[in-house]
Amino acid sequence: MSTDKRRKHSAPVVDGINKSASRAMLRAVGFTDEDFRKPQIGIASTWSNLTPCNMHIDGLAREAAKGADGAGGKSLIFNTITISDGIANGTEGMKYSLVSREVIADSIETVAGCEGFDGLVAIGGCDKNMPGCMMGLARLNRPSVFVYGGTIMPGDNHTDIISVFEAVGAHARGNMELIEVKQIEETAIPGPGSCGGMYTANTMASAIEAMGMSLPGSSAQNAVSDSKLADCEAAGAAVLKLLEADIKPSDIMTRAAFENAITVVIALGGSTNAVLHLLGMASTVGVELSLDDFVHIGKQVPVLADLRPSGHYMMSELVAIGGIQPLMKMLLERGLLHGDCLTVTGKTLAENLASVEPYPENQKIIHAFDNPIKADSHLRILYGNLAPEGSVAKITGKEGTHFSGRARVFHSEEEAQERILDGTVVAGDVLVIRYEGPKGGPGMREMLSPTSAIMGKGLGSDVALITDGRFSGGSHGFVVGHITPEAAVGGPIALVEDGDTITIDAVNNSIVLEISDEEMEKRRNAWTPPEPRFTRGVLAKYARVVSSASTGAVTDLP
């Protein structure tokens, strides 16, 4: 058996006369005698031609493999799945989206655990496959680097996927002709890469880099660029250095590293999905993290980035002025980041940032601390009799900070979407979309279609939307999701009736159903749980084991 400590996992698979059959199989896929003496590096690729986010990742995986081989390892590329939120949104298929995060984590753990890889590179390019990759790496806890597939370029007239969703609402309002919608549809997605604003993909890529699990700069590169190819090759080589130093994800994904990730997400004005995914990733690696941590950190950190969906600029424009590294240096110098956190470079965060140049003086994307977009976090954790275990709102201030209106209750996303587009929903309504939580959906669908329809109809300042489901990173408006407990387990959101008054206060962080405790109890006693919509297959399995959104909606809690 090998004495090379870097081969802790591969040696039992390929060393010795008893493993002759294993070696025979591997010779067929290209191994030589010399390769059996090298650390094996698994390259987890999320390539698929299902979606522009991942259509180029096969090439990136080969670059990562080249880097690992060049540094003295033996790479093996394997695939895991991906789905497309942008394609599935507004359909039953979206129920599988959050489920795919768990499938991806399971598959990476399964392949690497079976094959005995000593280290890993995981390459993700869309909302769920990034946290899914990270959860898989955390479970395995072997030297690993995450690589982001990169952002898409803007479409014609500065458009992106959200432009298309909102064009549908504008057409329903009568403000856009069908031919105009089609023109946006045809040009908004010009090629490979993840959705172009500070939506969930770019948010999670930034969070992972801030956490130290990606090489510096990985989160802010265009999908089709020499810098992204170089990032992938460097990541493959970096795993060999991590093996030499025995640096594992658990050494990097510490409590302080998660606090750094939260800080950067807030400064960037990132997606509410970051709350769900960071909670899930923390749970997987054994770090205690709760909704209240977002509250505590949010009081200290301003929103500085003028990025879509609530702002003006796209990720490619942030890439052009230096990405997130100068922003992280600003936060570090302000005392808002933990500079002593270890990263996949083998250096601390502060060491990585030491030579980073500031943003150009004339740039308008990242604001100064004395001129923030918002003085504190846009991610508001709301509690109250409607969400006793918490809920998550994305309030930039442009929507206002208070909303009180009459409930208009829907039992599915589709029902709400129809009533928005046909004019049933009017100013002063609080749309309640329930039975869309992790168990109730199942799968906790994103409400991108309804929120986009609201904006397109010109109701963004006049209605609110609350749900036990969640929102796309592209959603904006006065919206509150992740309401827990969810309706399917008898949470208070299941007890709301049409015409009830609901008051949302994003200053005092409260969400209240304006009925008496006695009335609430009366309704609770009369409530009966719905029959499960799925009794077999992956959605049924997911519904049986998934945890609350307030704990990350994970499926492997002990």
Residue numbers in the known binding site for [2Fe-2S] cluster are: 53
End-to-end CA distance of the chain: give it in Å, rounded. Answer: 35
Q: What residues form the annotated binding site?
A: 53, 85, 127-128, 446
Residue 404 among the catalytic residues: no
Nearest to 421 by CA among 456, 375, 447: 456
Nearest to 485 by CA among 518, 443, 437: 437
Q: How far apart are CA 120 and CA 41, in angstroms?
A: 5
Q: Is 16 helix (H, G, I), strand (E, B) or coil?
A: coil
Q: Which of 194, 219, 449, 472 is catalytic?
A: 472
Class of residue 499 by CB neighbours under 10 A (exposed 0-12, middle 13-18, buried 19+): exposed
Annotated binding site for Mg(2+): which residue ranges?
85, 127-128, 446
| Of residues 321, 221, 210, 216, the one with CA closest to residue 270 | 210
Instruction: Give the strand order in the sheet containing 144-148.
Output: 74-79, 40-45, 119-124, 144-148
Residue 132, class by beta-carbon neighbours within 10 Å (0-12 exposed, 13-18 middle, 19+ buried)?
buried
Block residue for tokens 């008051």: 503
At 121, which helix (H) or strand (E)? strand 119-124
Are 358 and 329 in contact by the 8 Å Cβ rule? The answer is: yes
What distance lies between CA 229 and its chain's CA centroid? 23
Nearby residues of 46 by Cβ (< 8 Å), 6 or more positions away? 54, 57, 79, 80, 81, 82, 104, 122, 123, 124, 125, 126, 129, 133, 149
Q: Bin 445: left if φ > 0, else alpha if -120 < ψ < 50, else beta.
A: beta
Could you give the residue numbers annotated as active site?
Answer: 472
